[in-house]
Structure 1
């Protein structure tokens, strides 16, 4: 099986009001005093209300889950010490009209100069799954064969229904916000690694983007590590649901490699249909239909998930990860994803109840 690592982005919310609080520098400093955290595991993000953690390279899903719990607990304790909550909500549910300051680096200053409104509204957080690959050719193969499953991944992972105190009507508003950047959304299909490198370098050479770090496709190759990065998912309220999604991504990729070696064709979805299907997944999440790439049409989310599990059954058997994936997926389909639960708690317990739930589920308390 492929090795994997997970990055999670979090928001810092005020303990009392639930509004974004620009305390990233202070929380990082406090977290650095804790023996459970290594300095390289925490990174600052674009806005001073965001932090990112990264697990080490893992071989087993149990490792991923253990590291995420450790990182969330330690960073959550540091946040409370500095008067805020760590929140694994993929969009800030409440916000005032004050501009959140950016992290003061040359790259982030340039981004704000280029797109001030987009930068100010980047109050969103995701999770990224890095899969270790033997070469970039395998990475492009994985990209091409995972593209059709992006609508289901977006729908299952949706955890950002609220924006500035308003229900957006979308399950993943983060997906919509991120789609406004120049190079974002589902990636195109590439012929090979050389085609990927030629086309991505051309974006920089034509000065359409500053660097390849501004390629925000849902799946991309890393320029720094031998990995393919799947970044379509909202950050998850529950750590075990983050592990679930990481496991799904890995078995999809493992099965894709096996199918290619066996000469089995992958699902073909036209780029315009795929873009529309991702939008549909972001709009409805796990509460309606989602695009099923095997049958080429919208079906109930549970049916699409069952089709996906059938398609990766050999990889599930090889990995031994069925016990980490199937029960959690069944619970998610039964109880709803993060977006469904956020709406339910807000309706039943109000604003204070929602903020408490987000904070508690983030750290598994």
Structure 2
């Protein structure tokens, strides 16, 4: 069984105003005192109103779901004990008049010095899925084969429509905010692992970025673990939606490994179409057409159906087909989390929105 792990980022917000609350050290300290978390499972992020959790390595989706619920409950309880709440939203719906302080590590302070406005506006939260790979060469082959599906995954995950109290018109404003760093978006096609390494080394050697960690491709080899890391997703409102993406990404990786071993030629998405499809997915979510891996526009439902058909054997092998399929169909019926944020704001105003993004974080 291919193992998987999930990282999630949350905002810390004032429960009354919805404004970011720079209390990460207090929340981490409180969460770390209890028996529910290990030291490395709750981490700080770039800004002091963000917090990250990371599951252990998991063999099943039940394990992923159990750990996410455990970690969300632990961090939510710690936040409440310190007068704030965790919000599972891809972008802060509101910002205060003063920027949130940077977490005072050498790396983050250097980033602030080099790109102050970008850092000030990094009140965004993503979800990263790590899937084990047998070796780096196969990992690069997997990246080559899944890159055409990244816009579809992004559209499904969209959960950041609001910014500065207004509807941005985008389903994933997080994608637009994050896309302003030097190296972001869909990865290029690589002619093997050696070329992957040469490209990363040349980027660092250029002096544009201090290290390989700031190569923010939406799919990349992890620098810390023997995994491929898929990073195109907004953080999800509900933990079972995060579980769905863990199942989808693992099945995509398993499918591409099978294809690579069989010598099946990959679909090579043209970079301009992949970039345009990413922007379009961030703009519309599932409320329009999607660009499929071959660069053709189809209805969102048809593209999601194609994705499920493509990975069905892998889902069956993992015992995940029924669960993941049911969650994908629910997503098509209910809309993306971005759609639900907009409905909550329309029906309940700001209090209704705050309830949605803070109270659904620990419930399926």
- Whole-Å Cα distance in 1 between the matches of residues 87 and 34 of structure 2? 19
Please name the residue that 2:361 is paired with.
362
- Whole-Å Cα distance in 2 between the matches of residues 341 and 262 of structure 1? 42
Contact 2:12-2:21 at 8 Å conserved across structures: yes
- Whole-Å Cα distance in 1 between the matches of residues 65 and 225 of structure 2? 22
- Whole-Å Cα distance in 2 between the matches of residues 80 and 22 of structure 1? 14
SS at the partner of 1:7?
strand
Contact 2:93-2:165 at 8 Å conserved across structures: yes
Contact 1:286-1:336 at 8 Å conserved across structures: yes
- Whole-Å Cα distance in 2 between the matches of residues 41 and 316 of structure 1? 27
Instruction: Determine if the alignment matches structure 1 residue 201 to structure 2 residue 201.
Output: yes
Please name the residue that 2:317 is paired with.
318
Please name the residue that 1:45 is paired with.
45
- Whole-Å Cα distance in 1 between the matches of residues 326 and 102 of structure 2? 40
Moved over 2 A (4+): none
Instruction: Determine if the alignment matches structure 1 residue 67 to structure 2 residue 72.
Output: no
Alpha-carbon RMSD: 0.9
Please name the residue that 1:291 is paired with.
291
Residues 147-158 of structure 1 correspond to what in structure 2 (within 5 A)? 147-158=147-158
Per-residue deviation at 1:225? 1.2
Please name the residue that 1:144 is paired with.
144
Per-residue deviation at 1:265? 2.0
TM-score normalised per structure 2 = 0.98
Please name the residue that 2:234 is paired with.
234
Contact 1:61-1:324 at 8 Å conserved across structures: no
- Whole-Å Cα distance in 2 between the matches of residues 312 and 172 of structure 1? 25
Residues 1-365 of structure 1 correspond to what in structure 2 (within 5 A)? 1-294=1-294, 296-364=295-363
SS at the partner of 2:129?
strand
SS at the partner of 1:8?
strand
- Whole-Å Cα distance in 1 between the matches of residues 79 and 170 of structure 2? 29
In the TM superposition, what whole-angstrom CA distance separates every residue of 1:199-258 from its partner, at most 9, and x where no partner exists? 101111121210001011000111221111000000000100001011111101100011
- Whole-Å Cα distance in 1 between the matches of residues 3 and 138 of structure 2? 14
Contact 2:189-2:268 at 8 Å conserved across structures: no
Contact 2:73-2:362 at 8 Å conserved across structures: yes
- Whole-Å Cα distance in 2 between the matches of residues 29 and 283 of structure 1? 38
Can you give the 5+ residue segments of structure 1 that lack an aligned partner in the other structure?
none
SS at the partner of 2:360?
helix
Contact 2:159-2:337 at 8 Å conserved across structures: yes
TM-score normalised per structure 1 = 0.98
In the TM superposition, what whole-angstrom CA distance separates every residue of 1:52-103 from its partner, at most 9, and x where no partner exists? 0000000101100000000001110100010001111010011122111000
SS at the partner of 1:362?
coil
- Whole-Å Cα distance in 2 between the matches of residues 323 and 317 of structure 1? 8
Instruction: Say how many residue pairs are matched.
Output: 364
- Whole-Å Cα distance in 1 between the matches of residues 206 and 170 of structure 2? 35
Contact 2:144-2:268 at 8 Å conserved across structures: no
- Whole-Å Cα distance in 1 between the matches of residues 337 and 267 of structure 2? 28
- Whole-Å Cα distance in 2 between the matches of residues 252 and 350 of structure 1? 39
SS at the partner of 2:86?
strand
Range that drifts further, 116-125 or 266-275: 266-275
Can you give the 5+ residue segments of structure 2 that lack an aligned partner in the other structure?
none
SS at the partner of 1:32?
helix
Per-residue deviation at 1:266? 2.2
